[in-house]
Amino acid sequence: FQKKGPCEQMTQTKIFGHRGSMGTSPENTLLGFTHAIEMGVEGIECDVQLTKDGELIVVHDETIDRTTDGTGFIKDLTLKELKAFSAGSKFSSFEQFDENRWSKEKIPTLEEVLQLIAPYNIELNIELKTTLFPYEGIEEKVLGTVKQFNYSDKVIYSSFHLPSLLRLKRLDPEAKIAWLLMYRLSRPMEYVSSLQLEGLHLHKDLLLRGHYDPPVEHLGYSIRVWTVNQEQEIAQLLNMAHVETIMTDFPQVAIAFRAMC
């Protein structure tokens, strides 16, 4: 890319920080979201689950074993119990190591995340982790929390679990819902229109390996791609005009590439 820069043309592609900036900061923490915002992302992606006492908490896995110094299923722990653990002490990175700062990070609630990002007016992609456990009432709670911050216009709700998205849409017909896909979907337009999807969130390989036919013209839905970390892949996707957003663990790399376009 030395001669031409990574892009063949100017790009409007947005960059979202995946779980904050999980390549350089502990995932799904306020510190990680802050770093992503400082890097200049247009949005952040986070994962939401429900605690034993019905609180919305931002964690990727159904257990806290991988990302914290605690153990157990989120559904079996109260917010107070979860807040006792460090969400940063297990994190390691090739970049600067700041164990003192990271180990103080706690698992954030969705409310705390909204509190942090709302002043910046950036987009927020809330992924509902409802595939394994149904987390009864999670859709109502997520909508309610977003409304509390008057942030509905900036939020995209996504999930692998389609029933969760359809429930959200029934509860709030204005909600922007996007289906997460790892596999090829035949006739995507028919799904988009019959399910009233705002977008499709595609695994990067569906585009990079040509398993998704790019629309010939603008089809009225957003294509966001995850999780794109390699420079070569970031460059390839920046060149695809129909890609609205790239989600990455390394927002600063993607933003630097885009700046060369």
Active site residues: 18, 60
Length of the chain: 261
Binding partner of 180, given Ca ion, ligand G3P, none, CB within 5-8 angstroms per partner class: ligand G3P
Q: Is the dihedral of CA 112, 113, 114, 119 positive or negative?
A: positive
> What are the beta bridge partners of residue 45?
18, 125
Binding residues (CB under 6 A) for ligand G3P: these are: 18, 45, 47, 60, 127, 158, 180, 201, 226-227, 247
Closest alpha carbon to 225 in 188, 180, 165, 183: 180
Chain residue whose CB lies nearest ligand G3P: 226
Q: Which is nearer to Ca ion, 11 or 14 (CB)?
A: 14
* Distance, CA of 245 to CA of 261 (rounded, Å): 15
Q: Is 39 helix (H, G, I), strand (E, B) or coil?
A: helix
Q: Which is nearer to Ca ion, 228 or 235 (CB)?
A: 228
Q: Which is nearer to ligand G3P, 176 or 201 (CB)?
A: 201
Give the Cβ contact number of residue 248 at 10 Å: 31
Q: Considering only 121-129, 164-172, 197-205, 243-251, which stretch makes contact with Ca ion by CB under 5 A?
A: 121-129
x/- letters, 125..164, toward Ca ion (CB under 5 A) = --x-------------------------------------
* Distance, CA of 58 to CA of 49 (rounded, Å): 6
Q: Which is nearer to ligand G3P, 82 or 202 (CB)?
A: 202
Whole-number minimum distance, CB 180 to ligand G3P, in Å?
Answer: 6
Binding partner of 145, given Ca ion, ligand G3P, none, CB within 5-8 angstroms per partner class: none
Whole-number minimum distance, CB 125 to ligand G3P, in Å?
Answer: 6
- Interface with Ca ion in residues 37-96 (CB under 5 A): 47
Whole-number minimum distance, CB 155 to Ca ion, in Å?
Answer: 14
Whole-number minimum distance, CB 203 to ligand G3P, in Å?
Answer: 8
Q: Six-digit token pair at 111?
A: 């409310």
Residues 6+ apart with CB under 8 A from 260: 1, 5, 6, 7
Binding partner of 158, given ligand G3P, Ca ion, none, CB within 5-8 angstroms per partner class: ligand G3P
DSSP string, 221-256: SEEEEE---SHHHHHHHHT-TT--EEEES-HHHHHH
Whole-number minimum distance, CB 180 to Ca ion, in Å?
Answer: 8
* Distance, CA of 217 to CA of 155 (rounded, Å): 25
Which chain residues interact with Ca ion by CB under 5 A? 47, 127
